[in-house]
Amino acid sequence: MSETSTTRSAIVAPVSVPATPRVTSRPLTRICLLIGGLIVTVAISLRFGAHPLSWADLGQLWFNVTGATVDRATVSVLVYAIRLPRIIAALAIGSGLSVAGAAYQGLFRNSLVSPDILGASSGAAFGAALGIMLSFSVVAIQGMAFASGLGAVVLTYALSRSVGGGTFTLRLVLTGMVVGSLGMAGVAVIKTLADPYSKLPLITYWLLGSLSSVTMLDVKLLLPPLVLGVAVLVALRWPLNVMALGEDEARALGVPTGKVRVLTLLSATLVTAVSVAVAGVIGWVGLMIPHLVRFWIGPNHRDLLPTSLLLGALFLLWADNLARWLFTVELPLGVVTCVCGIPVFLILLRRASSSWSD
């Protein structure tokens, strides 16, 4: 319901993080600043939109404040039926994609990988496009997107184990690129076959990412798997730190590298697939936010994952606000994240260039 009508990572040399990252604040101060920013942003997001509300309008809804300019019933619909669901979804998806991206980058020891590297986004896009073409219900479309996203990663993992040559991580990334390309080819076929007047515009808009149609039911379906996946990834922060030293060293220190790898892949895929199922394909969040946080606080996953969670939520909520506010017609969210993400990422790459290996 609306108020108005990634680049896939290539196989590149790992971008090393400076040995002495610049830390601008103590962890507690940093966390408090991000939480404060989230609270202020949520309040602003509730107030402004196609139909702006005053603070008194919001106050009458919860605290019986006088001086409201809009009746209580209208404020209730705007807040509970339209704005609050997409705010919660933006916070959840932004935090989930950021944590998944940080975990993937730690697992692959490459700062340029993103949550869709194993084909989860492409697989979910194929499932959703197929559901839209077949005129399924919204819940069925989300279910198909979720199932096909998980299926794509399972296929990637199975193929990587069946082929020989190179390290397992390299095989996993290469097969992920193949499966992802296969998924996007399937999407292209569906777009060719879909009704150009009714189904094709829906598929195209969904592929660009949007929270305009998110309802509270979508939020209820989104939160349980996303919270589960994020909780597992945060719980794996110490093994991911050790695995950054290399799998041989990690095994020597008693880390079950196989189990950690599978749990990380499954949890990050779960988060990515359920996010794509609800909001469509939203790029750059899982790639840019962990990279930005790594320059801010360093590569230690103990701090990296929680900070990525908060900053990712803050970033996507502001991106969704810009999508709603910039023009009279709402922009696709994926376009906003791309426009915001590319210059920031180029700046980060320029700062990292001095530490690249020839």
CATH number of the domain to which 135 belongs: 1.10.3470.10
Q: Give the 3-state DSSP-derived string for 257-310, with helices as H, strands as E and coil as C.
A: HHHHHHHHHHHHHHHHHHHHHHHCCCCCHHHHHHHHHHHHHCCCHHHHHHHHHH
Per the structure, the complete domain to which residue 189 belongs is given by: 27-352
- CB atoms under 10 Å from CB of 300, counted, come to 15
Residue written as token pair 């502001």: 318
Structural domain count of the chain? 1
Q: Indicate whether 3 belongs to any domain.
A: no
Yes or no: say if 280 and 218 are a contact pair by the CB < 8 Å rule: no
Yes or no: say if 314 and 38 are a contact pair by the CB < 8 Å rule: yes
Helix (H, G, I), strand (E, B) or coil at 52: coil
Q: Indicate whether 175 belongs to any domain.
A: yes
From CA 151, how far away is CA 86, in angstroms rounded? 27
Helix (H, G, I), strand (E, B) or coil at 171: helix
Q: Indicate whether 357 belongs to any domain.
A: no
Residue written as token pair 């919001």: 58
From CA 305, how far away is CA 25, in angstroms rounded? 16
Q: Indicate whether 7 belongs to any domain.
A: no
Q: Indicate whether 20 belongs to any domain.
A: no
Q: What is the pTM of this model?
A: 0.86
* Phi-psi map region of 298: left, alpha, beta (phi>0 left; psi -120 to 50 alpha): left
Q: Indicate whether 46 belongs to any domain.
A: yes
From CA 331, how far away is CA 322, in angstroms rounded? 8
One digit per residue, the tens of pLDDT, for the chain of length 358 reads: 555 443 333 333 344 443 334 444 466 788 899 999 999 999 999 999 888 898 888 888 888 777 777 888 889 999 999 999 999 999 999 999 999 999 998 888 877 788 888 898 999 999 999 999 998 988 898 889 889 999 999 999 899 888 766 677 788 888 999 999 999 999 999 999 999 988 999 898 888 999 988 999 999 999 999 999 999 999 999 999 888 877 788 888 888 888 998 899 889 989 998 998 899 989 889 988 998 898 888 888 999 999 999 999 999 999 999 999 988 889 999 999 999 888 877 877 777 665 544 4
Helix (H, G, I), strand (E, B) or coil at 116: coil
Residue written as token pair 């506010």: 325
Q: Indicate whether 332 belongs to any domain.
A: yes
Yes or no: say if 120 and 78 are a contact pair by the CB < 8 Å rule: no
Q: Indicate whether 240 belongs to any domain.
A: yes
Q: Which structure tokens are listed for 83?
A: 């704005």
C-alpha closest to that of 117 among 182, 175, 184, 168: 175
Residue written as token pair 């590319």: 342
Yes or no: say if 57 and 49 are a contact pair by the CB < 8 Å rule: no
